[in-house]
Amino acid sequence: MGHLISMFVRIYNKLFGFYREFSPAQRQAYWLLILASAFDGVTQGILLLQETIAKRALAASDLDIALIGLIANATMILAAAVGILFNQRRKKWLLMAGLFLGRLIFLASALITSSRIFLLFLFCYHALFAVQTPVLNSFFKVHIGSKRGQAFAVSRMALMALSIVSSLTAGRVLDLSPRIYPWLLSAVAVTGTVTYIIFIYLDSLVDYGSQPELSLRSRWDDFRAMLANRNFMMFETVFMTYGLAFMILVPVVPLMLLNVLRLSFFQMAQASGLYAQLFIMLSLPLAGLVYDRINIWKLWNWSLLMLVGYPGLMAAAYYTRQVGLAYGGYVFYSLGVTGVMILWNLGSLKFAGDGDTLLYQGFHVALTGVRGLVGPLIGYWLISVFGFPAAFAASALLFTTAGSMSLSCYHKQKKGLSCHLSDFPLVYAFRKN
């Protein structure tokens, strides 16, 4: 028994012992980030049902569902403005805009009487969430430092735990009375306010005054230097390929679950809330530890291997009409996205090194918006013209392609070589011609 307790103590120290190394200021920032994430989890948990609310309560069309996926992801293009306009400057007014236009606007949820009005509210939410993301991620480097991977993982666990609880609760309530959706959406204003007040406070602690103001020429030089970072651009190429595979499924999976399998509010909450996030939440501390210690490409390889099962099992659910297979697809999604989530939020910071992390983050998140603009439309077109199986096959092929690129880069780095796009045969042939 004593040996077992000792083993658990060692595991705990491995995963969470980093906290003892924090200074008082780091500890304060750490707990504030966890609190902000927990309240943001309630917000995100309710809005995990955005497609279901649109379809079941507001009679949204299939095109409206596709547009929700497009809005949620294409608005991330706006993140590029953060890196350009708010570099080394206080983010107070940007965060205030996020608070009032992205969160408090939901106090007027009684006005949401059609799917198109709902789309307008969702645009405000997601557009301000996009510019929030690089600011939040920069807090982990500024306030936490070298253990940011593990600190981010714990804060994300808090977000997901509350997201699962709130989505399941919202799903059960909406099954009892779908017309109560405006009251649930109004809760977003309350929880979002707490999150943003903490963000504004954390931003106020950053010493921007000690950093010199950069000229437009200097910012342009930094941007060119970032584009010349071959390893970073290869990292983004793999992300674009993976991301397109994922974005194709953004409208496809909800439409299959709602139109083909006929899932209820609570079943949708189980799928997108519980099964899609449970394994991410449980394995995040390990992923955070891995991020701080392991080769980035190795983490990519494991993640992409798992993600191939996501469209695979969704296709099986379509053919067999078995809800359990769809839940299984979300389990593979959950296992694969664990590593991807760490890489998406913090990976670009490693490539930035001592450079402008906000510039790298803004560029990285903006590219998410680019593929978010294209992917959902491709997914909607594929199911409209060829059917659901074609969309699942296209997604699986792109996941496999991203995995092969990541595996190649991993082997190159083991040999001490850099990895960049021109190494791949098709790109080399194109450049040669």
The domains of the chain are located at 23-208+216-428
Identify whether the C-beta of residue 246 lies closer than 8 Å to the C-beta of residue 375.
yes
| Residue 344: closest CA among 304, 401, 387, 389 | 304
**Which one has a higher pLDDT value, 352 or 262?**
262
CA contacts within 13 A on the Cβ side of 417: 9
Mean pLDDT over residues 185-209, rounded?
90
d(CA 226, CA 210): 23
For the segment 160-165, the average pLDDT, to the nearest whole number, is 92
Percent of the chain scored above 90 by pLDDT?
46
pLDDT for the residue 1: 60
Q: Are 42 and 166 in contact (CB under 8 A)?
A: yes
pLDDT at 390: 97
CA distance linking residue 85 with residue 358, whole number of Å: 10
23-208+216-428: CATH, from 3.50.50.60, 1.20.1250.20, 1.20.1080.10, 1.10.10.10:
1.20.1250.20
Under 8 Å CB-to-CB from 345, ≥6 apart: which residues? Answer: 133, 137, 152
Confidence label for 167 from pLDDT (cuts 50, 70 and 90) = very high
Q: What is the mean pLDDT of the chain?
A: 83
Q: Which of 290-299, 341-350, 375-384 has the lowest mean pLDDT?
A: 290-299
Residues whose CB falls within 8 Å of the CB of residue 114, separated by 6 or more in sequence, listed in order? 58
pLDDT of 304 reads 84
**Predicted pLDDT of residue 341:** 74
Whether 156 contacts 36, CB under 8 Å: no
Bigger pLDDT: 428 or 80? 80
109 has a pLDDT exceeding 90 = yes
**Cα–Cα distance for residue pair 224/197, rounded to 1 Å:** 35
pLDDT, position 84: 63
Across the range 209-218, mean pLDDT stands at: 59
Q: Which of 57-61, 221-225, 358-362, 427-431 has the lowest mean pLDDT?
A: 427-431
Task: From residue 9, give the alpha-carbon distance in Å to each of 13, 17, 89, 186, 307.
Answer: 6, 10, 43, 42, 32
Higher pLDDT, 382 or 152: 382
* Exposure class string for 413-431: b at 16+ Cβ within 10 A, else e: beeeeebbbebbeeeeeee
Percent of all residues in the chain with a pLDDT value above 70, rounded to a whole number = 81
Tokens of 64: 């409206």
pLDDT digit string, tens, across residues 125-135? 998 887 777 78
**Mean pLDDT over residues 233-244, rounded?**
89
- Percent composition of the chain: helix, strand, coil (DSSP 3-state, to 5): 85, 0, 15
* 133-137, 141-145, 264-268, range with greatest mean pLDDT: 264-268
Axis-axis angle for helices 62-74, 115-139 (nearest 10): 20
The CB-side HSE value for 386 (13 A sphere, CA atoms) comes to: 11
Please, is 249 exposed, middle or buried when counting C-beta atoms within 10 Å of its C-beta (0-12, 13-18, 19+)?
Answer: buried
Res 50: pLDDT: 96
The pLDDT of residue 324: 95
Residue 286 has pLDDT above 70, yes or no: no
Which of 4-8, 297-301, 319-323 tops mean pLDDT?
A: 319-323
What DSSP string runs through 99-111? IIIIIGGGGGGGG
- Residue 213 predicted with pLDDT over 60: no
pLDDT at res. 182: 95
Answer with the residue of higher pLDDT: 283 or 45.
45
Structure tokens at 123: 């645009």
Which has more confidence, 235 or 349? 235
The number of helices, as runs of H, and strands, as runs of E, in the chain is 20, 0
Provide the pLDDT confidence category of residue 425 given band limits of 50, 70 and 90: very low
Residue with tokens 């020429």: 217
> What are 313-358's pLDDT values in tens digits?
999 999 999 999 999 999 999 888 877 777 776 666 666 665 566 6
What local confidence, expressed as pLDDT, does residue 23 receive?
83
Q: Which two tokens stand for residue 8?
A: 């658990």
pLDDT of residue 133: 74
Question: Residues 251, 378: contact at Cβ < 8 Å?
Answer: no
Distance separating alpha carbons of residues 175 and 225, to the nearest angstrom: 53
